[in-house]
Amino acid sequence: MKKSQSKFLLEVCVADVESARAAQQGGAQRVELCDNLMEGGTTPSAGAIELARKHLTIALNVIIRPRGGDFCYSQLEYEIMRRDIEIAQQLGADGVVLGALKPNGTVDQKRTRALIELARPLSVTFHRAFDMTRDPFAALATLIELGADRILTTGQEATLGDGLELIAELVQRAGQRIIIMPGGAKEHNIARVVKQTGAREFHLTASHTVDSAMQYRNPRPFMGRALRPPEYARDVTDPRRVRKIIHLARGAR
C-alpha cells in the first residue's frame, strides 16, 4: 500500500461531539474522537461515536486506548481493544488510532499486526506510543512492515517544536510508504512545522475554554484526583482557530 504525503490534511483531536462539529465547521478534514484528553485520550463511548458519525460529513477516526498510562497492555486490555475496534467499525468510523508496546520499548508486533488486520478496511494510525519507543527508526521500519497508514508523533519530545528535526528525518525516511503526522501545532508555529518537516498531515486540538452552565457551584468536593481539571470549565474546539491554522499552514507551503 502506498502512502501519500502530497496532500495537506488537518486532523483535529476532539473530546466530544460538540467539538467534532466545531472542527468540521472550521474546515478540518478529519477528527480524532477521544475521551479523557487529560490522560492523553482514551476510547470514547459508543454513543459518542454514533452521534459523531451522524453529525459529521468529514472523516472520523476513533482512538482505541482502554486506559491512560503506558502502552504495555494485559491480555484483558488487548481483548477490550479488539472489541472496541469492532464497535467503531459497526458505528461507521473511517479509521482507528492505536498503539501497543512491549516492556522493552519496542512495538508489540504480534498484537499490533492483529489489531491492524482486524481494523481493515479502516485506516489505522499508530498514535504517540511511537514517542515512547526506544528507537524511532526501528519503530518506523516495523510499522511500515506491519502496514500502518500513519504515525502520530511529536518527535519523541514533550513539545512539537523540540521534535521537528526528528520528524523531518522520519518524513524523509518514510517516503511514500507511511504518513508521518506531527501532533500539537498551534498558530504560532504551524508555518514552521510545515516548512521544516515536509509533512502533509497535521494533528492538533485548537480548543478554547468555555465556562460551565452551572449557577450553583460547590467549591469543596471535586470529581477527580488531586491533580484535577477545573470543575466549572471545559475545553472545546474553536472553529475560528481551526480556520486560522489551516490558512497559516497553506500559506507556508
Strand order in the sheet with 59-63: 179-182, 150-153, 123-126, 95-98, 59-63, 30-33, 9-14, 201-204
DSSP string, 72-128: ---HHHHHHHHHHHHHHHHTT-SEEEE--B-TTSSB-HHHHHHHHHHHTTSEEEE-G
- Angle subtended at Cα 126 by Cα 171 and Cα 103, rounded to the nearest 5 degrees: 110
What cell was used for 87? 464497535
pLDDT band at 2 (very low <50, low <70, confident <90, very high): very low
Per-residue pLDDT at 224: 67
Query: Per-residue confidence at 1, pLDDT binned at 50, 70, 90?
Result: very low
Residue 7: the pLDDT is 75
Average pLDDT over residues 231-239: 86
Nearest-angstrom CA–CA distance, 149 and 125: 6
What local confidence, expressed as pLDDT, does residue 229 receive? 65
Mean pLDDT of 178-184: 98
- The model's pTM is 0.91
pLDDT in tens, 65-89: 999 999 999 999 999 999 999 999 9
Domains and their CATH numbers in the chain: 9-252 (3.20.20.380)
H/E element, 190: helix 190-197
How far is the CA of 225 from the CAs of 126, 163, 221, 229, 230, in angstroms?
A: 29, 31, 10, 9, 11
For residues 217-238, average pLDDT: 77
d(CA 46, CA 15): 13
